[in-house]
Chain A
Amino acid sequence: MDFAIILKIAAIGIVTAIASMLLKRAGKEEISTVVSVVGLAVALVMMLDVIVQLYDTLQSLFEL
C-alpha cells in the first residue's frame, strides 16, 4: 500500500478538523457539520481504491 495515501488522509483529517473548529467559533455550527461530513466522505473516497484492492486480494486468496 502506498504510504502517501495515509499521509493524504491524515492531512485531510487535520484540515477538516481545523476548518470545523474555525466555523464553530464563528457561530456556524451547521456549516461546520457539513464540512466534517464532506471531509469524511473525501477520505472514504480516497480509501475506495484500497478497499477494492483488499476485496480483490481476499477474493483471489480464498478463491471465491
Chain B
Amino acid sequence: MTDIVVLIACAACGFCLGMYAEKRIRRKNAFYADLVKYIELFALNIDGRQLEVDKFNADFAKNCSANFAQYLAGDTKKLGLSAKERQGLEEFFADIGRADTQQLKKFLEHYRAIFEQQRKIVEQRSQKASVYAKLGFLLGLMLGILLI
C-alpha cells in the first residue's frame, strides 16, 4: 500500500513540475504576443488618439495578459525572462515617448522587428510545451519505481 502511495505521489509531483514548466512557457508566449501588439497599437496611437504613455499603458493593461499588465505596472518579478530579455525590454520602455514622431515610428518599427523574432521563437517552443507535463509525469514515475 505504501509503495503505491509513494509511486502515485512521485508521479503526481513530476506531473505538477512538468505543468509548471509548461505554464511558464505559455505565459512567456502570451507576454511576447502582447508586447508586439502593444508596439503596433502604440504606433497607431501616435497618429490617432495620441494618448500619453501612462494613459496608453493603463488602457492596454485592461485587455492584455496578467503577466504583461504586471510588467506595465512595474512589477518585473516572476515573469520567466532572461537577463538579456529584461535588458532589451528596459531599453525599449526607457526610450519610448522621448523622441519626435518620425524618430519614434522608426524606433517602434525597429523594436517591433526584434520582439516579433523573439515571439516566433517562443511560440515555437510553446507549441511543443505539452511534452513537459508528460515528461514530468514519466520522470516522477521513474523516481517512484526506484524508491519502492
Contact = CB atoms under 8 A, between A and B. Distances in A.
Interface size classification for chain A: 10 to 19
Contacts, number: 31
A8 to B, nearest CB: 6
Interface in B90-148: 128, 131, 134-135, 138-139, 141-142, 145-146, 148
Contact of B138 (A22, A25, A27, A42): A22
Nearest to A9: B145
B145 A19 contact: no
Interface in A1-54: 8, 11-12, 15-16, 18-19, 22-23, 25-27, 39, 42, 46
Most chain B C-beta atoms within 10 Å of own C-beta, residue among A15, A16, A23, A27: A15
A26 B145 contact: no
Contact of A12 (B131, B135, B142): B142
